[in-house]
Amino acid sequence: MQGHAYVVLGATGGIGSALVSRIHGRGGKTVLAAQNEARLAALGAEVGSPYLSLDAAEPEEVKAAIKLCVDTHGRFDGIVNSVGSILLRPAHLTKIEDFDATVRVNLRSAFAVVHSAAAALRKGGGSIVLVSTAAARTGLANHEAIAAAKAGVQGLALSAASTYASAGIRVNVVAPGLIETPLAAAITGSEKALEASKAMHAMGRIGQPDEVASAIEWLLDPTQSFVTGQILGVDGGLGTVRPR
């Protein structure tokens, strides 16, 4: 990744910040994007990276982050959308406005990323990595809204991978299980909920942010030029196998 430049959306989250550290550790460059400007400023100062506070669901704001990458680093090689939310509630108890918000944060942001990055990468190629969830690959109770939104992310990625392959643009998805991040604190902060979650994963534990970040890093790596249209589960088996 030496000298390559990437935009990381959701950079201040658990997975995003671990990814930023990995990219810089390999000589890459980043533009950081998220909503919390104070956290962005702190992370930007730590790694020496420019940052932009934005709404990832708005294409023009994503385009501004890409432009900042080109203006600052002289190039743009890829983008990651690690923006997301968690809504665990059965459909009949989910308010429509909460469903709409879940779709906006997770699916509309993914579309905004593909819409904006594909145009910018069409001449030189590059990598787009989106983040889904194991819940979009297997039926989990009370996940209707988030599973629907993330299943849309996966469908979007597969279609875009086909559309842009001839331009050298790779589009892939990482689908985590439960990861120990601030976003998941409502689950991991409850001993009962945490133990139940561990039992659902064949590995008998939940994941760590760096485990997901390492998979995203691999998909971003320009040496993986033959990998596109893939949904990579980093989920302790949650999406595909059952515990013994």
Tens-binned pLDDT, residue by residue, of the chain (244 aa): 899 999 999 999 999 999 999 999 999 999 999 999 999 999 999 999 999 999 999 999 999 999 999 999 999 999 999 999 999 999 999 999 999 999 999 999 999 999 999 999 999 999 999 999 999 999 999 999 999 999 999 999 999 999 999 999 999 999 999 999 888 888 888 899 999 989 989 999 999 999 999 999 999 999 999 999 999 999 999 999 988 8
Q: What span, in angstroms and rounded, lies between the C-alpha atoms of 22 and 186?
A: 27
Domain that holds residue 125: 5-178+212-233
* Pairing verdict, β 169-176 and 51-53: unpaired
Q: Considering the domain boundaries, does residue 104 fall inside one?
A: yes
Q: Considering the domain boundaries, does residue 238 fall inside one?
A: no
Q: Considering the domain boundaries, does residue 194 fall inside one?
A: no
Q: Considering the domain boundaries, does residue 121 fall inside one?
A: yes
Q: What span, in angstroms and rounded, lies between the C-alpha atoms of 22 and 29?
A: 10
Q: Considering the domain boundaries, does residue 223 fall inside one?
A: yes
Query: What does the pLDDT read at residue 186?
Result: 86
Q: Considering the domain boundaries, does residue 193 fall inside one?
A: no
Strands (E), the chain: 5-9, 29-34, 51-53, 78-81, 126-131, 169-176, 231-234
Q: What span, in angstroms and rounded, lies between the C-alpha atoms of 173 and 137?
A: 12
Question: Among candidates 112, 106, 108, 104, which has minimal Cα distance to 59?
Answer: 112
Query: What does the pLDDT read at residue 127?
Result: 98
Among left, alpha and beta (phi > 0; psi -120 to 50; other), residue 69 is alpha
Number of domains in the chain: 1
Query: What does the pLDDT read at residue 185?
Result: 86
Q: Considering the domain boundaries, does residue 195 fall inside one?
A: no
Tokens of 25: 């550790």
Tokens of 99: 């469903």
Residue 55: which CATH number?
Answer: 3.40.50.720
Tokens of 219: 């998909």
pTM of the model: 0.95
Q: Considering the domain boundaries, does residue 62 fall inside one?
A: yes
Pinpoint the alpha helices (H) of 139-184. 144-164
